Amino acid sequence: MHKRRRKRLTTRSLTQEPALLDDIHHGQVQVQCVLDRVWHWPFNAFTLDTVTGGRSLPVLCVHLFHWYGLIDHFNLDVVRVWKLFTLVEAGYHSTNPYHNSIHATDVTQAMHCFLQEEKIKMHLTPLEIMSSLIAAVTHDLDHPGVNQPFLIATSNHLAALYENTSVLENHHWRSAIGCLLESSVAEQLGTCRLELEQQISSLILATDITRQQEFLSRFKRYLDQNLLDMHRFEDRHFILQIALKCADISNPCRPWDVSRKWSQKVCEEFFRQGDYERQLNLPVTSLCDRQSTSVPKIQAGFFRFVVSPLFEEWHRFLKTDLSTLMMGHLRGNQSRWEALVQQELAEETRTEISDAEVLDEEIGGNSEEEAVTETDDITASVELLLPDSPSPRRPSLPCHNNEMDSMKRVGRRHSVPLSVPCPPPITRTIIRRESLPVAEHRAQRRYPSGPILQLEEEAETQLGQSSLSLLSTCSSGPHHSSGGASGQDNRPVSAENLLPEPSITSITTSTEASRLSSVLHGGGNGTAASLAPSRFLIRQQTFPPLQPYVRIRYMSTTAEMSTCSEVLAEGASYSNSSSSSTSDHASAATLSCQVSDQAEVPSNLTCSKNGCATPNGKIRTLRDNGRICAVEQKCVNEKVVTVRSKREQTDAASEKSSKMAKISDSWTPQNSGHRWEKENVDPQYIGSDADLGANSSRGGSLHKNTPQGLAQRRGSAPVGLLNRSDDCIVPVSLALRGGGDRFLRRGSVPIDVTRQSILRPLGLKENTASLPRHCMPRRSSLPYDTTTLTSLLDPLTVPTGDKAGGSDGIIKDVHYRRLDPLSNIFTRPLEEALPHVTNQQYLVNVRQDSVPVDLNPELRISNGLGRNGNNSKSRTRKKVLRRRSSGGPEMFASSGSELFGDGVSWQHWRRELLARRTREQALAKRRGSLPIDMLATTNSVRPARRIYCSLWRL
Ligand SMILES: Nc1ncnc2c1ncn2[C@@H]1O[C@@H]2COP(=O)(O)O[C@H]2[C@H]1O
Ligand SMILES: [Zn+2]
C-alpha cells in the first residue's frame, strides 16, 4: 500500500515538474508538523501515515530514536536503524484492517506519551526506553489478522510451535528479534543486546489480551498496597508492561473521530475472521459474527469490560493531565457507543412493530409468526438496498412506501425479495456489518416450526449441508456464506488459504501470496475469472441437496416452467392451452403450475402445515395497465407466493412505479387439492429467457430425473450468480443458452450428476466420450474439498479390462499425458488439466493441502515415503518415476504388471498410485514454502525472506 502511495506521489511530482520541490517541501513540512506534536495525546496515526506516504512507522520511530538520544547513546548507525524499522514496517500486513503498521505507529506514539509521564520518565534507563519503543512498534509484528483461537482451531503451525500459549505474542517477539538481527542493529548493541531482547520479549508477551486479568489484579494489588518502587528494575519493568498494555488498547481513549476509526477497523478484522470461520465451517466466534453483532455492541462491551478497568487503574497510578484527558475521551466515547447500541435496539423494536402492523393490515389476519417473519425479511431487504451510512444502524425502514410494499409482495423464496437485484458485494458487506442479523438467524430463534425454517432445517440436518438462503447469498458478499455445521462438502478452503496476506504466519511464496490474495479478495480486475472463486465459495452451499424432498422442489419448479413457458414467453399475451378455473387465462396457466394442475405437480407435494386443505388457498392477479404482471397465491397457513410474468421481471421501471397501485385486489379461491410450498417456486427464474429457451425447446415436457434433466433444471437455481447485482438478472439466460454455461452455471450442477461424472472415470467403465455433454464442462463445479476428486476428473480413459493394457496390452487414450495416473497434475497446463477452472481457483484447490507438513500426519506419512527411500513402496515409486521419465504408453502399460504382478488388479494398483501421488504432490507443493517457525525447527533453511534467515540464526 505504501509503495503504491509513494509511487503515486513520485509520478505526480514528475509529471508536474514545477511542483516537485513544492511537493517535497510541503510533504516535509506536514511531516514535521505532525512529528512536532508527537507527544500530544490527540495524535492521529492515520494523518502521519498520510503525510509520510505510508511510512509512518519508520518515520516516527527514527524520529523518536533521535529524540530520545538513543542513536547517540548506543552509537547506532542511523542507516541500520532506518533499516530496522523498514523491516518492521514490512513485517506488518497492510491488508489487515487493524493489525497493520499504522496500529504499530499508534501504539508506539501512545507508549512515547506514557514514557513522558514524570513518574515513569525520571527512572527510566536508555535501554528501557529503547526496549519499550521497539516492543511497542513490534508488538503485533506479522499479525495474521486472526486471533489465537482461530490459529489453534485451524491447526496453524504457530499454535503447535508455541503449544497454544501466547501464540501470536511469541511469534511477534521472535519476529522482532529477527528484524534486529537482520538490520544488524543487534550487532551494535554489544553487551546490552541480551538484556534488550529479554525486555522486548517480556513486554510483548504482556500484551496477550488473555492475560489481562492477571496483570490487572497484580497492578491493583500493587496500587492498593503501595508496593511500587520505581527505583527497582522489576517494578519499572512491570509498569512498562502495563504501559504497553495500555498503549495497545488506547484507541478508545483517543478523540472520538480517531477512536471511532480504530473501532471500525478492529471490528472489520473481527468480522473477517468470522467470515473465514464460516467458510471453514468452524463455529463463528460471537464477537466476529457480523450477522449477529455490530460495531457499537462490540465497542460498548470492550470499553466497559476491558478498557475501563485497566485505564481506571492506570489513571490511579498516573493521576496526571494525560491520564485525566484519556479518561475523559474514554468515557465520552463509551457513552457514544452505548447510545448507539440503544439506538440500534430501539430501531429494531420499532421496525418490527411497524412492519408487523403493516403486514397485519395487508395480509389480513395471518399468524403472528408470519407477520414477524416478514418483518425480518423486509428489514433485511432494506438493509440490502440502503447505501452504507456512518451511523451504525440506519434510520428505520421506509417500509410503507410503495416500493417497499411491492417488494414484500414479490415472491421470495426465503427472506429477500427475489426481484431485488443484489447490491454490489462491498456495499452489502458494509451494510451487514453494522446491521441486523440475517433473517435466518432470527427465524431459528423465533419460529421453530415455520415453513421456511422447516425446509432449511431439513436440508441442513438431513444432508449436513446448509441450504443457503437467497438472503445469505445476496447479503453476504463474496466471502460470506452461511456455513453448515457439519457438512463435509462445505469445507471449501483451508485456513491458510483464507489468511488475507500470507506471510511468515502463513505458508506461501510471495507469488502465491499475491495470487492467492487476489483470488480470495475477488481479484482487482473485476473479470469473471477473478470473481469466480467468490462464487465458488458460495456455490458450495447452493448445491441442491441430495435429499428427495428438496429435489422435488426443483422438479416442481421445472414442471412449472415447462408448462408455463409459452405463457411467460409472451409476457402479457398468454396462450397456454392448459386451462383452469380462474377467469383469466394467463393467470390460470401460471397457477396451474402452482396449484391446480395435478398432471404437472407431483402429487406428493403438500403443504408443510398439517391439516392444510389447500381449497382454502386463494389467488389474486396483479395487473399493470390491464396486463397481468404477477399472480399471487396464498393459503391459510402460508405466506403469499407471487409468480411474476417475464415482462414484469424484466421491466424494473414499471415494477417500481405502478405495480402495486394497480393490482387487482380480488382473492380467488382455488380448488386444487395440493399446495405448493413457496420454496418450490423460484419466481426469479420463472419467465426468464433461460427458462423459456430451456423448456420450450423440449416442447414443454417435464424434465426427467436424468443427468441431463437435472442439469437442465439447474437453470432454475443458478444461485452462485446471486452475489453480484448484475448477475442476478442477465446471466440466467446466458447460462442456459450455452455461452455462459461454464461460468455462470458452474455452481449449479446437481451434486449427484457431478458425482456421476467423477465416478465414471474412476469406475473405469466408460469412455469420456460417453459422458453426458453437460458433465464435462462443469467439472469445475466441484467443491474445494474434492481436490483429490478434481484430479480424478481427468478423463482418464483406460481399458475396460482388469489388467493394465487391456486386451492388446497397451492402454489406449487420446490424451496420452492423462493416461499416466502418476503424471503430475500440478505441472500440466491448467487449461489442459481442468479447462474450466481458472488458475486462481486452481491455486486455491492446490493449496487446500497446505497444512504444514510436519503437523499433518497424512503428509508426514507421505513425507516418510518420499524421503526415506528405504521401503518397498518408495522403491516402487522411484521405479515408476524412472519409467515415467523415459517411457511412452507402452512402457507405462508394462510397468503396471511389472510392479504389481499378475495378482494385483489394475484398479487397485491405480488407486494406490493416485492416492500416493496426491499426498506426494501436496508435499512437493509445500516444499520450499515452509513458514519461518518451521524453518527454525526443521533443518531446511530456505531464505525466501530475509527475516527467515534472521530467525534461523536465532
Ligand atoms: N476498539 C477495540 N474494540 C475491540 N477490541 C479491541 C479494540 N482495540 C483493541 N482491541 C482488541 O484488543 C487487543 C489488544 O491486543 P492486539 O492489538 O493484539 O489486538 C487487540 C484487539 O483484539
Ligand atoms: Zn496491538
Q: Residue of the nearest CA to atom 9 in ligand 1?
A: 249
* Strand order, beta sheet including 627-634: 641-644, 627-634, 618-624, 668-669
pLDDT over 90 (residue 707) = no
- In the chain, % of residues over pLDDT 70: 35
The helix (run of H) or strand (run of E) holding residue 633 is strand 627-634
Q: Residue of the nearest CA to atom 11 in ligand 1?
A: 249
Range 352-358 average pLDDT: 69
DSSP 387: P
Q: Residue of the nearest CA to atom 10 in ligand 1?
A: 249
Cell of residue 144, nine digits: 495474521
Amino acid at 666: S
Alpha-carbon span 451 to 549, nearest angstrom: 13
pLDDT over 80 (residue 47) = yes
**Cβ–Cβ under 8 Å, residues 929 and 851:** no
Q: Tens digits of per-residue pLDDT, 729-742?
A: 333 333 333 333 33
pLDDT over 80 (residue 470) = no
Cα–ligand 2 centroid distance for 132 (angstroms): 14
* Closest atom of ligand 1 relative to the 168 alpha carbon: 18
How far lies 395's CA from each of 292, 384, 437, in Å?
19, 14, 16
Vertex 361 angle, CA 355 and 363, to 5°: 95
Cα–ligand 2 centroid distance for 306 (angstroms): 14
Q: Residue of the nearest CA to atom 6 in ligand 1?
A: 266
The answer to whether the predicted template modeling score (pTM) of the entire model surpasses 0.80 is: no
Q: Tens digits of per-residue pLDDT, 865-883?
A: 333 334 444 444 444 344 3
Lowest mean pLDDT among 38-47, 193-202, 244-253, 438-447: 438-447
Give the per-residue pLDDT at 126: 97
pLDDT over 70 (residue 299) = yes
Give the per-residue pLDDT at 348: 81
pLDDT over 80 (residue 568) = no
Lowest mean pLDDT among 21-35, 461-475, 492-506, 746-760: 461-475
pLDDT over 60 (residue 311) = yes
Alpha-carbon span 758 to 752, nearest angstrom: 10
Cα–ligand 1 centroid distance for 2 (angstroms): 23
Q: Residue of the nearest CA to atom 12 in ligand 1?
A: 249
Question: Which ligand gives the minimal distance to the CA of 135?
Answer: 2
DSSP 827: G
Confidence of residue 301 (pLDDT cuts 50, 70, 90): very high
Q: Is 540 helix (H, G, I), strand (E, B) or coil?
A: coil
Q: Tell me, what's the ipTM?
A: 0.99
Give the per-residue pLDDT at 27: 75
* Closest atom of ligand 1 relative to the 140 alpha carbon: 18
Cα–ligand 1 centroid distance for 33 (angstroms): 29
Q: Residue of the nearest CA to atom 16 in ligand 1?
A: 248
Confidence of residue 404 (pLDDT cuts 50, 70, 90): very low
Q: Which residue has the higher pLDDT, 917 or 605?
A: 917
Question: Which ligand gives the minimal distance to the CA of 266?
Answer: 1
Q: Residue of the nearest CA to atom 21 in ligand 1?
A: 266
Question: Which ligand gives the minimal distance to the CA of 169?
Answer: 1
Confidence of residue 921 (pLDDT cuts 50, 70, 90): low
pLDDT over 80 (residue 9) = no
Cα–ligand 1 centroid distance for 218 (angstroms): 21
Confidence of residue 777 (pLDDT cuts 50, 70, 90): very low
Lowest mean pLDDT among 174-178, 517-521, 891-895: 891-895
Alpha-carbon span 726 to 652, nearest angstrom: 13
Q: Tens digits of per-residue pLDDT, 128-172?
A: 999 999 999 999 999 999 999 999 999 999 999 999 999 999 999
Cα–ligand 1 centroid distance for 168 (angstroms): 13
Q: Which of 146, 242, 266 to mutate to test the pocket of ligand 1 (most atoms within 8 A of CB)?
A: 266
Enumerate the active-site residues: 99
* Closest atom of ligand 1 relative to the 107 alpha carbon: 17
* Closest atom of ligand 1 relative to the 252 alpha carbon: 1
Confidence of residue 347 (pLDDT cuts 50, 70, 90): confident
Cell of residue 623, nine digits: 395487473
Pairing of β 641-644 and β 618-624: unpaired
Range 777-796 average pLDDT: 33
Cell of residue 806, nine digits: 487391456
Which of these, 799, 790, 902, lies nearest to 844 by C-alpha position?
Answer: 790
Q: Per the annotation, where are the binding residues for Zn(2+)?
A: 103, 139-140, 248
Alpha-carbon span 849 to 852, nearest angstrom: 9
Phi/psi at 644 (5° precision)? -110, 150
Give the per-residue pLDDT at 503: 47
* Closest atom of ligand 1 relative to the 169 alpha carbon: 18
Cα–ligand 2 centroid distance for 556 (angstroms): 55
Cα–ligand 1 centroid distance for 488 (angstroms): 33
Question: Which ligand gives the minimal distance to the CA of 168?
Answer: 1
Task: Give the total residue count for the chain.
Answer: 954
Cell of residue 497, nine digits: 488459504
Q: Per the annotation, where are the binding residues for AMP?
A: 99-103, 140, 248, 299
Within 447-584, residue ranges assigned H as helices are: 451-463, 470-476, 495-498, 510-520, 528-539, 548-569
What's the mean per-residue pLDDT of the chain?
A: 57
**Cβ–Cβ under 8 Å, residues 99 and 143:** yes
Q: Which of 248, 271, 303, 505 to mutate to test the pocket of ligand 1 (most atoms within 8 A of CB)?
A: 248
Q: Residue of the nearest CA to atom 8 in ligand 1?
A: 249
Q: Which residue has the higher pLDDT, 875 or 222?
A: 222
Give the per-residue pLDDT at 29: 85
Q: Which residue has the higher pLDDT, 941 or 113?
A: 113
**252-261, 380-389, 564-573, 590-599: range with highest mean pLDDT:** 252-261
pLDDT over 80 (residue 179) = yes
Q: Which residue has the higher pLDDT, 636 or 282?
A: 282
Give the per-residue pLDDT at 335: 98
Question: Which ligand gives the minimal distance to the CA of 145?
Answer: 1
Pocket of ligand 1 (CB under 6 A): 140, 207, 209, 248-249, 251-252, 262-263, 266, 298-299, 302
Q: Tens digits of per-residue pLDDT, 62-101?
A: 999 999 999 999 999 999 999 999 999 999 999 999 999 9
* Closest atom of ligand 1 relative to the 299 alpha carbon: 3
Give the per-residue pLDDT at 791: 33
Cα–ligand 1 centroid distance for 6 (angstroms): 29
**Cβ–Cβ under 8 Å, residues 548 and 486:** no
**Cβ–Cβ under 8 Å, residues 58 and 89:** yes
pLDDT over 50 (residue 355) = yes
**Cβ–Cβ under 8 Å, residues 622 and 663:** yes
Amino acid at 230: M
Alpha-carbon span 474 to 429, nearest angstrom: 10
* Closest atom of ligand 1 relative to the 262 alpha carbon: 1
DSSP 886-927: H--HHHHHHHHHHHH-TTS-HHHHHHHHHHHHHHHHHHHHHT
SS3 content of the chain, % helix, strand, coil (to 5): 60, 0, 35
Confidence of residue 901 (pLDDT cuts 50, 70, 90): very low
Q: Residue of the nearest CA to atom 18 in ligand 1?
A: 140
